[in-house]
Amino acid sequence: MKYLILINDPETAWSKMAKSDSDAMMGQYFKYTEELKAAKVLLVGEALQPVHTATTVRIRNGKTVNTDGPFAETKEQLGGFYLIEVPNLDEALKWAAKCPSATIGSIEVRPVQVYG
């Protein structure tokens, strides 16, 4: 089964970190990604640029509106994702718990829809 691991953490936490701490976090992320690859569960994973770089597109009543910023203001922001393939939810949850941001943010595990 495929699961999307959505990494939500407070951008303020990152910006308040000393460089040595954020470097350490990045190192942990590098290790984490390598572990996912070694276990052959990783399909794709990316870090995202901060939410201020986002643009949101909505079409209402035939009008296209592009808004500067994310679709909603939230306390934690989507900072990255991993799409993994594992046998069941327990396995997906184990991997989510290993995500470096789990201690400062919220890691949502969403199963991918299966049709047919």
Partner 1 sequence: MSDLATLFKREAGPVIARLVRLLGSLPAAEDAFHDACVKALEQWPVSGVPAQPGAWLATVARNRGFDVSGSAHAALAEPLEAASNAPTREAIDLDRLDSGVDDDQLRLLFTCCHPALSAQTQVALTLRTLGGLSTTEIARAFHEPEATTAQRLVRAKSKIRGAGIPYEVPSREALPARLYSVLTTIYLVFNEGYSAAEGEALLRDNLCREAIRLARWLHATLPAEPEVTGLLALLLLQHSRAEARVDAKGDVVLLEDQDRDRWSAQAIAEGGALLDAALELKQPGPYQLQAAIAALHAAAPTAAQTDWRQIALLYNSLWQRVDTPTVGLNRAAAIGMAWGPNEGLDALSRLDASHFELSHWFDSARADLLRRAKRYAEAAVAYDQALTRVRNAPERRYLEKRLGEVRALLGL
Based on the shown chain and the rule CB under 8 A, indicate whether residue 47 belongs to the binding site for partner 1: no
Q: Are 110 and 3 in contact (CB under 8 A)?
A: yes
C-alpha–C-alpha distance, residues 85 and 92, integer Å: 8
x/- site string to partner 1, residues 54 to 93, per CB under 8 A? ---------------------------------xxxx-xx
User: Which one, of 89, 85, 99, 94, lies nearest residue 8 by Cα?
Assistant: 99
Task: Between 83 and 93, name the residue whose CB sits nearer to partner 1.
Answer: 93
CB of 109 to partner 1, least distance (A): 8
- Residue for token digits 């829809």? 113
Enumerate binding residues for partner 1 (CB under 8 A): 1, 3, 87-90, 92-93, 109, 111
